[in-house]
């Protein structure tokens, strides 16, 4: 597929500097792009490549001032990074629109129903009473359990498992290998040291415009629902336990783990490999730095770090003090020597 600069500019609300009929057919990184490819420039660290890239079209911030001529056609936009993301999304939509129909072999229960322009890849399993919205794409080897509801314009990648009774909203993307609705980790300890499994009878609800990375796991609730609210973005390799609630537009980075019944507010940022205990609350806008261990609730807007996690500003002060400890030790020894000298002079 080939796209002229004029059409690209319309999609991203940009202005063309140069030939509007110049066209591209693929994307490339600014340092590696070839003729016929589109790239973007937004990070000053890559400015040297702006002037020597072989890309045919470059998205660039409208307020950036060139220091030397650029061979490529420029499209000036308010934010080049956002514009590039928009184009990639449009391109993906065009590619996926070409996917439709039911590949064989696959299994779709007679009680299942689906909307227009749905794609089901080979070896997928669609259980009883499943409902799938229009323009949704389910790729090979996906498992969709009984009574699952999936909305419109969703993408369910290869190997995704969605267990029975779970509900997926509209415009949800779930990457390969992720498991939605497996049993939560619930066991009742017994006097003799053994454990009795607690049945997990709830489900998982994923609202609209949620993105979930590869090989993540979101456990079903013991009773009620584990909920991922609209706009949330979850990275690869994340564990979310039973009855957790993740708020709107919250972002969780890779390898983070959220224990059972924790409530995470709106717009929370959680760094990679963070661990959060169960039955606590993270207020709206809270921030958890990477590798932090959160053992108690966090107030709205507060940033924590470390393990156990505590106030970020206090942590920075502690780190500054720790770096100065050798100098402080030297000064203390000098003061001790001075005090000793003064005491000796006073005695004499």
| Residues that are catalytic | 242
Angle of helix 5-12 relative to helix 80-97, nearest 10 degrees?
110
Give the single-character DSSP code of 198. Answer: P
DSSP symbols for 291-343: T-EE-S-B-TT-EEETTTTEEHHHHHHHHHHHHTHHHHHHHHHHHHHHHHHHH
DSSP symbols for 149-166: EE-SS-EE-TT-EE-TT-
Q: Are 302 and 311 in contact (CB under 8 A)?
A: yes
- Rg of the chain over all Cα atoms, to the nearest angstrom: 27
Picking from 186, 274, 185, 283, the residue whose alpha carbon sits closest to that of residue 234 is 274
Picking from 21, 67, 26, the residue whose alpha carbon sits closest to that of residue 47 is 67
Picking from 109, 110, 106, 130, the residue whose alpha carbon sits closest to that of residue 119 is 106
- Round to the nearest angstrom and report the end-to-end CA distance of the chain: 96
Task: Quote the Cα angle for 314-316-320, to 5°.
Answer: 115
Picking from 275, 253, 180, 189, the residue whose alpha carbon sits closest to that of residue 221 is 180
For residue 9, the surrounding DSSP H or E stretch is helix 5-12
């Amino acid at each position: 597929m080939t796209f002229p600069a004029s059409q690209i500019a319309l999609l991203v609300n940009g202005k063309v500097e140069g030939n509007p009929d110049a066209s591209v057919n693929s994307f490339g990184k600014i340092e590696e792009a070839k003729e016929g490819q589109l790239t973007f420039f937004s990070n000053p660290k890559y400015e040297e490549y702006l002037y020597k890239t072989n890309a045919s079209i470059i998205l660039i911030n409208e307020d950036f001032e060139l220091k030397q001529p650029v061979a490529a056609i420029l499209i000036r936009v308010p934010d080049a990074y956002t514009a590039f993301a928009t184009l990639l999304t449009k391109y993906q939509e065009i590619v996926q629109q070409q996917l439709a129909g039911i590949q064989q072999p696959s299994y779709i229960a007679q009680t299942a129903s689906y909307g227009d322009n749905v794609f089901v890849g080979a070896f997928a399993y669609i259980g009883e009473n499943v409902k799938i919205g229009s323009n949704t794409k389910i790729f090979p080897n996906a498992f969709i359990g009984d009574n699952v509801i999936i909305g419109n314009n969703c993408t369910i990648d290869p190997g995704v498992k969605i267990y029975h009774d779970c509900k997926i909203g509209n415009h949800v993307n779930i990457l390969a290998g992720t498991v939605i609705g497996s049993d939560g980790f619930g066991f009742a300890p017994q006097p003799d040291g053994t454990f009795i499994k607690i049945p997990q009878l709830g489900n998982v609800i994923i609202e609209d415009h949620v993105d979930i990375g590869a090989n993540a796991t979101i456990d079903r609730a013991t009773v009620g629902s584990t909920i991922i609210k609209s706009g949330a973005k979850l990275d690869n390799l994340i564990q979310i336990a039973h009855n957790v609630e993740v708020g709107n537009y919250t972002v969780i980075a890779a390898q983070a783990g959220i224990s059972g019944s924790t409530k995470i507010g709106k717009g929370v940022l959680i760094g990679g490999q963070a661990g959060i205990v169960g039955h606590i609350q993270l207020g709206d806008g809270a921030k958890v730095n990477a590798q932090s261990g959160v053992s108690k609730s966090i107030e709205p807007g507060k940033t924590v770090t470390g393990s156990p996690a505590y106030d970020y500003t206090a942590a920075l002060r502690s780190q500054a003090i720790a770096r100065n400890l050798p100098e402080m030790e030297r000064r203390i020894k000098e003061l001790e020597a001075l005090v000793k000298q003064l005491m000796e002079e006073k005695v004499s």
